[in-house]
Chains A and B, each alone.
Chain A
Amino acid sequence: MINWIHELQKRTSLRAKILVATIVVVAGFTGVFLYQTVSFHTESALNQVAESSQGLLKNTYSAIKYPMSVGDSKTVEKQLKDIKDHMEGVEVYISDFQQVLHYASEEDRIHTSIIHYLWEKETQRALADALGTGLSPNQSFTEIRNDEAFLVTIKPLLNERPCHHCHGASKKVLGAMVVKHPVKEVYASLAAARNRLIIFSVVEIIGIILVINFLFNRLVTRRIKTLAEKTGQVSAGDITVEVHDDSQDSIGKLSQNFDQMIRNIRDRMEYANSLKLGISEPFFMVDPDMKLTYMNDAAAKLSGVRSENVLGKKTCEEVFKSDMCHTGCPVKKAMETGEATVGHRVTTKNAEGKEVPIMASGAALRDSAGKILGGFEVLRDISKEVEAESVLRDSYLKEEEAKKNLQHRVESLSDILRGVAGGDFTVKAEMSGENDAMDQLVQRTNETLDHMEELIGQTKRAALTVVMGVRHISEGNQELSQRTQQQAATVEETSATVEQLVSNINQNATNTQRADSLSKEAVAVAMEGGDTVEKTAQAMNGMSESSRKIVEMMDLINEITFQTNLLSINAAVEAARAGEQGRGFAVVANEVRNLAKRSSEASKDIQNLVRDIMDQVNTGKEWVAQLENGFKKIVQTIKQVSDALSEVSLATREGSRGVEQIGQAVDEMGGVIEHNASLVDELAGATEQLNEKAGLLQSMTDKFKLGDQGDMEVEELNFKKSYQVQKKDRRGTEPPTIKPLRDELATQHPIEDKPDDLIEKELDEGFEEF
């Protein structure tokens, strides 16, 4: 079967194949499209009818639900009859759970089984399932018999609560409602539409096929047929054909590429012929039987034959008669192995019978399938090359000898340089006396070594100078450290003295203040004394006034006494007049007169006494006045003393501030000295590092062994690391004098360990410059 199809494919023309393929593809796609369209329309129409049936079923159920719930069978029957009268062809059935009809739009079918009116098994099964499960089917069912077609929709009637009164509660499903909707007209409409669509599709297919076939014939078949004819000519060996198709589509490009390919083939053939003719060396070609098929003029000249006499008739061995024809023919070997053979050097005889050295190279000739069609061989005359080769061999021997000589000299120079690398400058290279480049190299090397020796000697001396310079720096640093230490001690003593001075000044200030306060107290006491004297003076004045008043009173008393005496005389006179009766009175008057006398005497005594007192009081007043003046002078003097003491106290405070500033200056000086000490420490550390570097430089230069001029023995210098001063922050915690490391430094004299003459020598040489 497959072979038959294959044969049919081979024999059928391209146009027929494309026609069949077009028919199959177009008809296939159109058929699928047609089928999908018809199916979609049918399904859509049936869905609409199914929805209509569902609506009818729901409406009918809604209409009969209430009458059934109250047992109103007549209303139910009337509803179904109305449906039959108004909806032509629609059938509604209500069966019990045993599928016996109780209501039907077709009244004659009541009390019969509904199975008789459901034709399809699938519909019957769906009704049984709905009665068993109480679930409505997911779809409607199509029933077709003879010329009738119905869409059947089923709804189970569940035993709901209002139904329990008559039907009890034991059953889940009471029955089912079935609506059969006639779809005969729908199917007829669908069939008509389908038929129209099929007719249109067939016409469309035929039209498309004809158009495609026409276009394919014009655009493809005809052009490929032309191309096939041309390729047939090429396969027959005619490479002069040409194809003219300037279209830019694939067939046009195929034709153009074919045309270009034919031209390329022609070019390559011409190229191969040009190569063959362009070879000036003797060149010949043979077939697998080693018979000559081509030989150029050079080969004919070498063999001394005419090519037209031997081509296709004689083998190469018969023509060239070379010694390699039996030992190892290159072209024969190439045809056997399939690989080119080159560089076979053999000897052959030319037309004059003279042996000629030649280089023979051979290769096989193949077709496109790799089959060997023959071979060719190129013979190159190498007489001149052989002669040049002998000359080259002699030159090579001479060069080998010169090379060995040169190598020996280079090795000796290398040994010297190895010693130099190890630091030995004592050995020098020797010259051969030929004054060639090698001698110049040796001379330059010796000069270089001399310069390096001198340079290293200078470096050694410079390193020694550096070492000694570092020593002197270290000594100077040590002395600087000691002086700094002494300076710090002095500053500290100064600071202590200043502190003591500040203390004394403060004590003086305190005493002065106390004297000032005492003088002020003395002023107060003196002023109080002055007040007392003043009060005494006032009391004395009072006493003087009182004495004066007493005198005045005594005058009055005297007056009174006088009057009293006068009265007493008058009384005595009167008493005398009275006689006897006045005698007593005369006595009294006499007594009174006596009293008056005594009073007068007493008043005179008092008056005298008072006058004495007044004199004494006046004297006292003068003394008191003198005393008051004395007190005023005392107060004035003491105030002057107090002012002087205040000035002394002010001067003392100023002096104290001055001394405090001196103390701060001394402290700052101590800080500066401490900073100097830390700098000295850092200088010691830097000196130590410099010493290490100088020692390193010295050890490096010691590795070199120099000649008499540059070498010198230098005593190993070893600085002790005790120069290092332990760095501390003395500013805040310790007094500047407490520096044990500096004491240690002071006791060391590293320079004493060195020989004096060497030091002096080094000092003379370079320390000043350093």
Chain B
Amino acid sequence: MKAKKRLNRVKGLVYLMFFIFVYATVWAQDPKPRAYVGSDVCQDCHETEYENFQAYAKKAHSYASINVMKKGLTEAEFRKCFECHTTGYKEPGGFRSEHETPHLKNAGCEVCHGPGSLHVETGEPKDIKGSLTAEDCDVCHSSERVEAFDYKPLIHGGAH
């Protein structure tokens, strides 16, 4: 009996090593892993757009809006705010908390243009979403929020 149990353990170990090997091979073959880098990184190349965004867009300091309401909210309600008031929450390399990812606590450039790590590395325009549509805004600017705050996407108004 002991010999049979030992044989099963060896078999399980062999299968585990096989799956790890396959997963590592696939991951190693992705040449362009993407992550959120924060709006400040964009400033070097897109100075004008960055300043306009910081001066006129409420998104640039959106975390303060939820932070002031934190006192009257439950933890779940407060985390629910992160989905639209921070950058990349619940996504790989996105916002996790104000303490861990302070550069992503406001809704920055990557909320609309997507993760910018690859674009930063290559400098290629094709590595980031350049032209946007209104559907990209609907993620947060839903009809419910438009009704509550009367917010309108500034995509057609030249936000930056």
- Give A contacts to B, CB under 8 Å: 69-71, 96-97, 162, 164-168, 170-171, 174
Does B113 count as interface, using CB distance less than 8 angstroms? no
Which of the four size classes fits the interface of chain B? 10 to 19
- Interchain CB contact (< 8 A) of B148 among A96, A165, A170, A171: A165
Closest to B78 in A: A168
Does B52 count as interface, using CB distance less than 8 angstroms? no
Does B150 count as interface, using CB distance less than 8 angstroms? yes
Binds A, one of B17-25, B67-75, B96-104, B130-138: B67-75
Chain A contacts of B65 at CB under 8 A? 71, 166
A-B contact pairs, 12 of them (CB 8 A): A69-B148, A70-B149, A71-B65, A71-B149, A96-B72, A97-B72, A166-B65, A167-B73, A168-B74, A168-B80, A170-B74, A171-B72
What is the CA–CA distance of A265 and B68 in the complex, to the nearest angstrom? 109
Chain A contacts of B121 at CB under 8 A? none
Indicate with 1 or 0, residue by residue over B119-160, a CB within 8 angstroms of chain A CB atoms. 000000000000000000000000011011110000000000
Q: Are B77 and A165 in contact (CB under 8 A)?
A: no
Given contacts A71-B65, A168-B77, contact A174 B72 (CB under 8 A): yes
What is the CA–CA distance of A166 and B147 in the complex, to the nearest angstrom? 13
What is the CA–CA distance of A162 and B74 in the complex, to the nearest angstrom? 18
In this complex, the member of A164, A167, A168 whose beta carbon has the largest number of chain B beta carbons within 10 angstroms is A168
- The distance from the CB of A173 to the nearest CB of chain B, in whole angstroms, is 11
Chain A contacts of B145 at CB under 8 A? 165
Q: Are B77 and A170 in contact (CB under 8 A)?
A: yes
Chain B contacts of A97 at CB under 8 A? 72
What is the CA–CA distance of A70 and B144 in the complex, to the nearest angstrom? 13
Chain A contacts of B80 at CB under 8 A? 168
Q: Are B74 and A166 in contact (CB under 8 A)?
A: no
- The distance from the CB of A78 to the nearest CB of chain B, in whole angstroms, is 19
Chain B contacts of A170 at CB under 8 A? 73-74, 77
Q: Are A167 and B69 in contact (CB under 8 A)?
A: yes
Chain A contacts of B149 at CB under 8 A? 70-71, 165
- The distance from the CB of B131 to the nearest CB of chain A, in whole angstroms, is 30
What is the CA–CA distance of A304 and B144 in the complex, to the nearest angstrom? 143
Given contact pairs A71-B65, A162-B147, a sample of 19 additional A-B residue pairs in the complex whose CB atoms are under 8 Å apart: A69-B148, A70-B148, A70-B149, A70-B150, A71-B149, A97-B72, A164-B148, A165-B144, A165-B145, A165-B149, A166-B69, A167-B69, A167-B72, A167-B73, A168-B72, A168-B74, A168-B77, A170-B73, A174-B72
- The distance from the CB of B85 to the nearest CB of chain A, in whole angstroms, is 11
Chain B contacts of A162 at CB under 8 A? 147-148
- The distance from the CB of A185 to the nearest CB of chain B, in whole angstroms, is 39
Chain A contacts of B72 at CB under 8 A? 96-97, 167-168, 171, 174
Chain B contacts of A71 at CB under 8 A? 65, 149
Closest to A164 in B: B148
What is the CA–CA distance of A96 and B74 in the complex, to the nearest angstrom? 15
Chain B contacts of A164 at CB under 8 A? 148
Closest to A174 in B: B72
What is the CA–CA distance of A162 and B69 in the complex, to the nearest angstrom? 15
- The distance from the CB of B27 to the nearest CB of chain A, in whole angstroms, is 40
- Give B contacts to A, CB under 8 Å: 65, 69, 72-74, 77, 80, 144-145, 147-150
Chain B contacts of A168 at CB under 8 A? 72-74, 77, 80
In this complex, the member of B69, B74, B144, B148 whose beta carbon has the largest number of chain A beta carbons within 10 angstroms is B148
What is the CA–CA distance of A170 and B76 in the complex, to the nearest angstrom? 10
- The distance from the CB of B82 to the nearest CB of chain A, in whole angstroms, is 14
- The distance from the CB of A441 to the nearest CB of chain B, in whole angstroms, is 136
What is the CA–CA distance of A689 and B144 in the complex, to the nearest angstrom? 121
Closest to A100 in B: B71
Closest to A72 in B: B149
Chain B contacts of A96 at CB under 8 A? 72
What is the CA–CA distance of A70 and B146 in the complex, to the nearest angstrom? 11
- The distance from the CB of A62 to the nearest CB of chain B, in whole angstroms, is 18
Chain B contacts of A171 at CB under 8 A? 72
Closest to A159 in B: B72
Closest to A169 in B: B77
Chain B contacts of A166 at CB under 8 A? 65, 69
Closest to B144 in A: A165
What is the CA–CA distance of A458 and B73 in the complex, to the nearest angstrom? 140
What is the CA–CA distance of A164 and B74 in the complex, to the nearest angstrom? 13
- The distance from the CB of B110 to the nearest CB of chain A, in whole angstroms, is 23
Chain B contacts of A165 at CB under 8 A? 144-145, 148-149
- The distance from the CB of B124 to the nearest CB of chain A, in whole angstroms, is 39
What is the CA–CA distance of A164 and B148 in the complex, to the nearest angstrom? 9
What is the CA–CA distance of A70 and B145 in the complex, to the nearest angstrom? 10
Closest to A165 in B: B148
Closest to B80 in A: A168
- The distance from the CB of A477 to the nearest CB of chain B, in whole angstroms, is 127
Chain B contacts of A69 at CB under 8 A? 148
What is the CA–CA distance of A71 and B144 in the complex, to the nearest angstrom? 16
What is the CA–CA distance of A162 and B80 in the complex, to the nearest angstrom? 17
Chain A contacts of B77 at CB under 8 A? 168, 170
What is the CA–CA distance of A144 and B144 in the complex, to the nearest angstrom? 47
- The distance from the CB of A445 to the nearest CB of chain B, in whole angstroms, is 136
- The distance from the CB of A178 to the nearest CB of chain B, in whole angstroms, is 18
Chain A contacts of B148 at CB under 8 A? 69-70, 162, 164-165
- The distance from the CB of A492 to the nearest CB of chain B, in whole angstroms, is 125
Closest to A170 in B: B74
Chain A contacts of B150 at CB under 8 A? 70
Closest 5 CB pairs of A and B: A168-B77, A165-B148, A168-B73, A166-B69, A70-B149
What is the CA–CA distance of A97 and B147 in the complex, to the nearest angstrom? 25
What is the CA–CA distance of A195 and B23 in the complex, to the nearest angstrom? 97
What is the CA–CA distance of A105 and B150 in the complex, to the nearest angstrom? 28
What is the CA–CA distance of A162 and B77 in the complex, to the nearest angstrom? 16
Closest to B73 in A: A168
In this complex, the member of B80, B149, B150 whose beta carbon has the largest number of chain A beta carbons within 10 angstroms is B149
- The distance from the CB of A682 to the nearest CB of chain B, in whole angstroms, is 117
What is the CA–CA distance of A611 and B73 in the complex, to the nearest angstrom? 174
- The distance from the CB of B73 to the nearest CB of chain A, in whole angstroms, is 5
Chain A contacts of B144 at CB under 8 A? 165
- The distance from the CB of A395 to the nearest CB of chain B, in whole angstroms, is 135
- The distance from the CB of A103 to the nearest CB of chain B, in whole angstroms, is 13
Chain A contacts of B147 at CB under 8 A? 162
